[in-house]
Chains A and B, each alone.
Chain A
Amino acid sequence: MSRLQHPETVLISFRNRIRLAGVLVFLFFGILGARLYHLQVAQKNHYTTRAESNRISLVPIVPNRGDIVDRQGIILARNHSAFTLELTPSHIPDLETTLEELKVIIAIEAKDLKRFRRLMRESRNFESILLRTRLSDAEVARFAANRYRFPGVEVKARLFRQYPENTLAAHAIGYISRINEEEKNWLESATDTAGNPQGGNYKGATLIGKIGLEKEYEFELHGSTGYAQVEVDAAGHAVRVLKRSPPTPGNTLTLTLDSRLQHMAEAAFGARRGSLVALDPRNGEVLALVSSPAFDPNLFVDGIRFDDWDALNHHPDKPMLNRAIYSAHPPGSTFKPLMAMGALSEKVRTPEQSIVDPGFFRFGNHTFMDDKRGGHGVVNMHRSIVSSCNTYYYRLANDMGIERISRFMRRLGLGNQTGIDIPGETKGILPSPEWKEKRFKNPQQQKWFPGETISVGIGQGYNAYTSLQMAHALANVLNEGRVFRPHLVRSIRNTATGETRFLETTPIRQEMLDPKHVAFIKNAMAGVNKEGTGARAFAGAAYTSGGKTGTAQVFSLRGQRYSASRLQEKLRDHSWFIAFAPVEKPRIVLAIMVENGGFGAVSAAPIARKVFDFYLAGNTVMGAVAEDEAASDEEADPEEPESAPGTPPATPRNAPT
């Protein structure tokens, strides 16, 4: 603009620029309009969806877990409502001060704080986090009065798992506890029995069955998670509930267990370690399943305290171990009726065939001793069971051979899981040349020595079975080969539909056993309770019964005489008893194992008597006297046999049973 211009020209130029500005204003607002059209018309659905997903949050509602009741309907596991104190850190201006002030009105222990801080690390900031459980009414009232001082702190009513019978049948029932990382991953791909994936069903869930029925029937008990559509603000606070699809509570399990019988059996064990399994041979129902000592599953429900866990874990008696399904021991002489059954089935013996027992069995240049010095004289099969003649079974085992023994015992269910409906069952050990080859690495140890077969014949050697397996095997014999899967759950009631589904009414397989042979064995075992080692315990019983005592060696005495009183308790023999009643139509089969109990007739048989009395004749418990008498009566005077080739670690010590 180097030259002066006429004012008129300047004004025209100015007005042109004003017009240009006007055009530019339209242009720019046009661009803005296009942008708004893009957002509000073209992309409207996209942004509406995003606004909705901003505002609506799907909050899972955890279903109530199903109850567990015994066969009479007595509650063994249920949910009870309790008040909890929960904090939402994002709503609390100063967490530490709040915690200090809360301590004044509510008892907060160090372990509560520890758990709180752990949960806080694991969760998102806007979730409410548990600080205290089971507030007393007084604490709830005190908090209510001071509530205004504590923004972000709430008292909530929550359902907790409760095991009202405490330690009763704890190993069978199991417990629930917090879902861990491993279980979380497992749930991702897990499906229930109907094949429905369960990953999504555990949204919001914090608890899962850890052992026992609580674990095995997790998907029955858990129920289906419900959902609430909640409107949330930007900070994630729920503003209001828009829609709610309620959860379906878990199903109720009715057990085959009879909790009175269970209670009785546990009481009969007292402080002794061991296990007991009572089955109904007619259908495989587990009437009692004892593992002693037990634990209190209530300790685990809201996170077990460290010292409780430490105490359970390091207790010398191992209370967490489910002995009934996991502790396998040589069955001792309780193996003899099964051997006899095998001999008959395999046609190795007839009942009438007799041997003359000189008090020992010589094999090669090794001598296997009988428990009775001088022997039992002339012994047929019936007498071999009633008087528990070792020599008869040394010879029988030798005649049958390990393969035939092993094959027959497998048919009875030994050496395999019985399939009971709680997890963690062991297979036990059914010895055979193949088993030994797999079990040992060293080629010299892999070879099966014929001498080892002879130990197996009297239930010693490598043999190792659980009480559940022994009860199962005996039931299979009594059933003439009809094998039922032992099971703890009788029926499952669908809480939503009210339908009840019964489980397991048919045998899972049929083994061919001759009823005549079975009748013979039953009769021989009845003889044990009439005139043999069971006679003392079953004197005066109001019913007929059959049984067989047994002793499993813990410690090899190397030539010393065995005397229970002189041995440390932990080195004493384990005592076994298997039994059934009534003889004609058995309604109950038992296997009892008392760790370090000494002789089966002393420790185990009286427990069986109490259980049978209770189950068959009502509540008349009259075994107490018999037990005391038996203790002073039994003679124990076995001798260490000379070592046979390949003798297993625990050599047969002529188990006197």
Chain B
Amino acid sequence: MNRMDLTRRFRLRLRQIGAHLDLPLLFIVGALMAIGLVTVYSATASEGLVKFDSQLLNMAVAVAVMLCIAQMPPQTLMRCAVPLYVLGIVLLLGVALFGVSVNGSRRWLSLGIARIQPSELMKIAMPLMLAWFFHKYESELRARHFLIALALLLIPCLLILKQPDLGTTLLVGASGFFVIFFAGLSWKVMLGLAVAGTAALPFAWQFVLHDYQRRRVLTLLDPSSDPLGAGYHIIQSTIAIGSGGSFGKGWLKGTQTHLDFIPEKHTDFIFAVFSEEWGIAGNALLILLFVLLVLRGLVIAANAATLFSRLLAGAISLVFFIYAFVNMGMVSGILPVVGVPLPFISYGGTALLALMVGIGILMSIRTHR
């Protein structure tokens, strides 16, 4: 092999990789991650560049993983569905039996060297499993298949709810429900579920929700009822957002941010940092990017070749939506506080990795026809 040959083979390889990229998606995600870096820099400015650098590394790893997944054809992904789901269920049972408790929640499984949170795995395994399931029975779908799908959805959800982790339960449940919805769950059943759900709310309030969860909901309704306790986060983040005004206070100039009034400012509450420094103009851009991301995902879903691809792409797109909406809704005080990071913006490696796996899947679906 001479040098020319090596270069040509490298170029060929690059072209192969490039062929499995979706440029609009790449552009949108790139823009979101750029905003994320700028905001993480501001939110962690007082600690030097440690977090910024580590977020750069997180992004590099996540982009690499995305590129790898984009190369895999959807059939390969389909083969992973059942093993991942089963692994997820086993790990969740493991958590229930041998899990490690932190702050009163049993969410972690200790594997000697590291602790893992199996509910995170379920966020990907769930839509994958249900998409595989509907795809497998595509030609013979009956009501019972929807019942089985609901069961597949509920088992892990109940396990996560017991930990307790209401936020993740709702997100995992949502990701699975989106698959079932796109698979064609009848409107009558959905209406029935909605009515039953509403009727069950008082019951759930009394018996399912934990004290701290009830408090979070009550705090949302009236943050000033506990201004130094549970309401403090919401009060301070809404002050940060509101005081940002039209064009913000300017990068690195947010007083709420830099004087430490915003809690969890580089993770779950990073939206408050961004809003304070860039104002509603910045928020408009951010929301526009999220809308474009979700729409691009839905377009990919609409044009996907197989039922598996369609369902998976549709569900993943809506998961991006639900993450972004729940996070921004909670930080701006219209939703209760649940531990959801802002996609592509919040500091943190694991969440970003999961999101980029999703982007990789969308690209794979888009580019393998």
* A16 vs chain B, min Cβ distance (A): 10
Which of B36-44, B53-61, B115-123, B140-148 sits within the interface?
B140-148
Q: Does B128 contact A (CB under 8 A)?
A: no
Contact of A32 with B325 in the complex, beta carbons under 8 Å: yes
Contact of A25 with B291 in the complex, beta carbons under 8 Å: yes
Q: How many Å lie between the Cα of A32 and that of B275 in the bound state?
A: 13
Contact of B182 among A2, A18, A31, A35 (CB under 8 A): A18
Nearest-CB residue, chain B, relative to A39 = B242
Contact of B321 with A39 in the complex, beta carbons under 8 Å: no
Contact of A32 with B329 in the complex, beta carbons under 8 Å: yes
In the assembled complex, which residues on chain B have CB atoms less than 8 Å from the CB atom of A44?
242-243, 245-246
Instruction: Give the size of the chain B interface in residues (CB under 8 angstroms).
Output: 51
Contact of B256 with A31 in the complex, beta carbons under 8 Å: no
Q: Does A26 contact B (CB under 8 A)?
A: yes
A18-B139 contact given A44-B245, A233-B260, CB 8 Å threshold: no
Q: Does A506 contact B (CB under 8 A)?
A: no
Contact of B243 with A51 in the complex, beta carbons under 8 Å: yes
Q: Does B52 contact A (CB under 8 A)?
A: no
Contact of B239 with A36 in the complex, beta carbons under 8 Å: no
In the assembled complex, which residues on chain A have CB atoms less than 8 Å from the CB atom of B236?
54, 234
Contact of A51 among B255, B287, B325 (CB under 8 A): B255
Contact of A54 among B178, B259, B301 (CB under 8 A): B259
* A232 vs chain B, min Cβ distance (A): 7
Contact of A21 with B283 in the complex, beta carbons under 8 Å: no
Q: Does A618 contact B (CB under 8 A)?
A: no
Contact of A50 with B291 in the complex, beta carbons under 8 Å: no
Q: How many Å lie between the Cα of A46 and that of B295 in the bound state?
A: 35
Q: How many Å lie between the Cα of A14 and that of B279 in the bound state?
A: 38
In the assembled complex, which residues on chain A have CB atoms less than 8 Å from the CB atom of B333?
35
Contact of B332 among A35, A48, A55 (CB under 8 A): A35
Q: Does A119 contact B (CB under 8 A)?
A: no
Contact of A18 with B334 in the complex, beta carbons under 8 Å: no
Q: Does A17 contact B (CB under 8 A)?
A: yes
In the assembled complex, which residues on chain A have CB atoms less than 8 Å from the CB atom of B244?
40
Q: Does B294 contact A (CB under 8 A)?
A: yes
Main secondary structure of the interface of A (DSSP, over half): helix
Contact of B260 among A18, A29, A39, A235 (CB under 8 A): A235
A14-B259 contact given A1-B141, A35-B332, A43-B242, CB 8 Å threshold: no
Q: Does B361 contact A (CB under 8 A)?
A: no
Contact of B140 among A4, A40, A233 (CB under 8 A): A4
Contact of B260 with A31 in the complex, beta carbons under 8 Å: no
Contact of B240 among A2, A32, A51 (CB under 8 A): A51
Q: Does B269 contact A (CB under 8 A)?
A: no
Q: Does A239 contact B (CB under 8 A)?
A: yes
In the assembled complex, which residues on chain A have CB atoms less than 8 Å from the CB atom of B283?
33, 36, 40
Contact of B181 among A2, A17, A46, A54 (CB under 8 A): A17
In the assembled complex, which residues on chain A have CB atoms less than 8 Å from the CB atom of B242?
39-40, 43-44, 46-48, 50-51
Q: How many Å lie between the Cα of A26 and that of B334 in the bound state?
A: 17
In the assembled complex, which residues on chain B have CB atoms less than 8 Å from the CB atom of A148?
none
A-contact 0/1 string along B307-335, CB 8 Å cutoff: 00010001001100100010011001110
In the assembled complex, which residues on chain A have CB atoms less than 8 Å from the CB atom of B255?
51-52, 54-55, 231
In the assembled complex, which residues on chain A have CB atoms less than 8 Å from the CB atom of B181?
17
Nearest-CB residue, chain B, relative to A3 = B142
A29-B314 contact given A40-B241, A51-B243, CB 8 Å threshold: no
A21-B298 contact given A39-B332, A50-B243, CB 8 Å threshold: yes
Q: Does B186 contact A (CB under 8 A)?
A: yes
Contact of B182 with A14 in the complex, beta carbons under 8 Å: yes
Q: Does B184 contact A (CB under 8 A)?
A: yes
Q: How many Å lie between the Cα of A1 and that of B143 in the bound state?
A: 6
Which A24-70 residues have a C-beta within 8 angstroms of B?
25-26, 28-29, 31-33, 35-37, 39-41, 43-44, 46-48, 50-52, 54-55
Q: How many Å lie between the Cα of A349 and that of B352 in the bound state?
A: 114
Q: How many Å lie between the Cα of A54 and that of B260 in the bound state?
A: 11
Q: How many Å lie between the Cα of A26 and that of B238 in the bound state?
A: 23
Which B218-264 residues have a C-beta within 8 angstroms of A?
236, 238-246, 255-256, 259-261
Q: How many Å lie between the Cα of A483 and that of B139 in the bound state?
A: 120
In the assembled complex, which residues on chain B have CB atoms less than 8 Å from the CB atom of A234?
236, 259-261
Contact of A18 with B243 in the complex, beta carbons under 8 Å: no
Contact of B259 with A13 in the complex, beta carbons under 8 Å: no
In the assembled complex, which residues on chain A have CB atoms less than 8 Å from the CB atom of B245?
40-41, 44, 48
B-contact 0/1 string along A233-257, CB 8 Å cutoff: 1110001000000000000000000
In the assembled complex, which residues on chain A have CB atoms less than 8 Å from the CB atom of B241?
36, 39-40, 47
Contact of B143 with A2 in the complex, beta carbons under 8 Å: yes
Nearest-CB residue, chain B, relative to A20 = B181
Q: Does B302 contact A (CB under 8 A)?
A: yes
Q: Does B280 contact A (CB under 8 A)?
A: yes
* A499 vs chain B, min Cβ distance (A): 43
Contact of B321 with A25 in the complex, beta carbons under 8 Å: yes
Main secondary structure of the interface of B (DSSP, over half): helix
Q: Does B290 contact A (CB under 8 A)?
A: yes
In the assembled complex, which residues on chain A have CB atoms less than 8 Å from the CB atom of B275?
36, 40
In the assembled complex, which residues on chain B have CB atoms less than 8 Å from the CB atom of A29?
287, 290-291, 325
In the assembled complex, which residues on chain B have CB atoms less than 8 Å from the CB atom of A43?
242
Q: How many Å lie between the Cα of A224 and that of B310 in the bound state?
A: 76
Q: How many Å lie between the Cα of A57 and that of B188 in the bound state?
A: 59
Contact of B259 with A28 in the complex, beta carbons under 8 Å: no
* A250 vs chain B, min Cβ distance (A): 35
A31-B334 contact given A47-B241, A234-B259, CB 8 Å threshold: yes
A-contact 0/1 string along B273-305, CB 8 Å cutoff: 001000110011001001100110010011000
Q: How many Å lie between the Cα of A253 and that of B141 in the bound state?
A: 100
Contact of B184 with A14 in the complex, beta carbons under 8 Å: yes
In the assembled complex, which residues on chain B have CB atoms less than 8 Å from the CB atom of A1?
141-143, 146, 184-186
Q: Does A649 contact B (CB under 8 A)?
A: no
Contact of B143 with A51 in the complex, beta carbons under 8 Å: no
Contact of A47 with B239 in the complex, beta carbons under 8 Å: yes
Contact of B260 with A15 in the complex, beta carbons under 8 Å: no
Q: How many Å lie between the Cα of A391 and that of B245 in the bound state?
A: 97
Contact of B334 with A40 in the complex, beta carbons under 8 Å: no
* A654 vs chain B, min Cβ distance (A): 79
* B333 vs chain A, min Cβ distance (A): 8
Q: How many Å lie between the Cα of A55 and that of B249 in the bound state?
A: 14
Nearest-CB residue, chain B, relative to A26 = B291
Q: How many Å lie between the Cα of A264 and that of B110 in the bound state?
A: 87
Q: How many Å lie between the Cα of A22 and that of B284 in the bound state?
A: 18
Q: How many Å lie between the Cα of A29 and that of B256 in the bound state?
A: 25
Contact of A39 among B238, B256, B294 (CB under 8 A): B238
* B228 vs chain A, min Cβ distance (A): 11
Q: Does A10 contact B (CB under 8 A)?
A: yes
* A86 vs chain B, min Cβ distance (A): 23
* A10 vs chain B, min Cβ distance (A): 7
Contact of A35 among B142, B243, B334 (CB under 8 A): B334
A10-B184 contact given A25-B321, A32-B328, A54-B261, CB 8 Å threshold: yes
Contact of B239 with A17 in the complex, beta carbons under 8 Å: no
Contact of B301 among A18, A40, A48, A50 (CB under 8 A): A18
Contact of B298 with A239 in the complex, beta carbons under 8 Å: no
Contact of B294 with A25 in the complex, beta carbons under 8 Å: yes
**Can you sample 28 A-B contacts with CB below 8 Å?**
A1-B141, A1-B142, A1-B146, A14-B182, A17-B314, A18-B298, A21-B314, A29-B287, A31-B334, A32-B287, A32-B328, A32-B329, A33-B284, A35-B334, A36-B241, A36-B283, A39-B238, A40-B244, A40-B246, A41-B280, A44-B243, A47-B238, A47-B241, A48-B245, A50-B239, A52-B243, A54-B261, A239-B259
Interface, chain B (partner A; CB < 8 A): 139-143, 146, 178, 181-182, 184-186, 236, 238-246, 255-256, 259-261, 275, 279-280, 283-284, 287, 290-291, 294-295, 298, 301-302, 310, 314, 317-318, 321, 325, 328-329, 332-334
Interface, chain A (partner B; CB < 8 A): 1-2, 4, 10, 13-15, 17-18, 21-22, 25-26, 28-29, 31-33, 35-37, 39-41, 43-44, 46-48, 50-52, 54-55, 231-235, 239
The 3 closest A-B pairs by CB, nearest first: A47-B242, A51-B243, A234-B260
